Structure 1
Amino acid sequence: MDRRFLAMFAVPALVMPLSACGINSVPTAEETAKARWADVQTQYQRRADLIPNLVATVQGYAAQEKSVLTEVTEARARASSTQLSADDLNDPAKVKAFQDAQGTLGQSLGRLLTTFEAYPDLKSNQNFLALQSQLEGTENRIAIALRDYNEAVRAYNTRIRTFPDMIGAKLVHGAKPLTPFEATAPNADRAPKVDFGAKS
Structure 2
Amino acid sequence: MLTGMITLVALMLLVAVFLIATYNKLVKLRQRVQNAWSQVDVQLKRRYDLIPNLVNAVKGYVQHEKDTLERVTHARNMAIQASNITEQSNAENILTGALKSLFAVAEAYPDLKANTNFIQLQSELSDTENKISFARQFYNDTVQIFNTTIELFPNNLVASMLGFIMVDYFTLQGEVEARENVNVSF
Same-fold status (TM-score > 0.5): yes
Q: Does 1:147 align with 2:176?
A: no
* TM-score, normalization by structure 1: 0.78
CA distance in 2, matches of 1:83, 1:126: 36
Give the Å deviation of 1:187: 5.8
For the 8 Å contact 2:36–2:139, the answer to whether it is kept is: yes
1:163 lines up with 2:153 in the alignment: yes
Farther off after superposition, 142-151 or 158-167: 158-167
Contact 2:86 2:168 (C-alpha < 8 Å) held by counterparts: no
Q: Which of 166, 169, 172 is residue 180 of structure 1 equivalent to?
A: 169
Distance 1:113 1:107 in 2: 10
Is the aligned partner of 1:35 residue 2:24? Answer: no
Number of residue equivalences = 174
Residue 23 of structure 1: SS of its match in structure 2?
helix
Q: 1:80: how far off?
A: 1.2
Aligned counterparts of 1:44 and 1:188: Cα–Cα separation in 2: 21
CA RMSD in angstroms comes to 2.4
Corresponding position of 2:98: 108
Q: Using the aligned pairs only, state the percent identity.
A: 36
Q: 1:117 & 1:178 partners in 2: Cα distance?
A: 40
Match of 1:63, SS? coil
Deviation, structure 1 residue 13: 4.6
Structure 2: which amino acid aligns with 1:96? T
Superposed counterparts of 1:15-30, under 5 Å: 16-20=17-21, 22-30=22-30
Higher relative contact order (CA 8 A, sep 6+): 1
* Contact 2:55 2:69 survives alignment (8 Å): yes
Q: Distance in 2 between matches of 1:144 and 1:189?
A: 17
- CA shift in 2, pair 1:137/1:103, >3 Å: same
Tell me, in whole angstroms, the C-alpha distance in 2 between the residues paired with 1:62 and 1:150: 38
CA distance, structure 1, for counterparts of residue 61 and residue 121 of structure 2: 15
Say which SS state the counterpart of residue 100 (structure 2) adopts: helix
For 1:36 and 1:19, the matched residues in 2 are separated by 24
3-state SS of the aligned residue for 2:169? coil
Checking the alignment, whether the CA contact within 8 Å between 2:44 and 2:132 is kept in structure 1 is yes
Residue 31 of structure 1 aligns with an amino acid whose one-letter code is Q
Q: Which whole-Å CA distance do the structure 2 matches of 1:102 and 1:49 have between them?
A: 14
- Where do 5+ consecutive residues of structure 1 fail to align? 1-5, 85-94, 194-200
Q: Distance in 1 between matches of 2:176 and 2:58?
A: 24
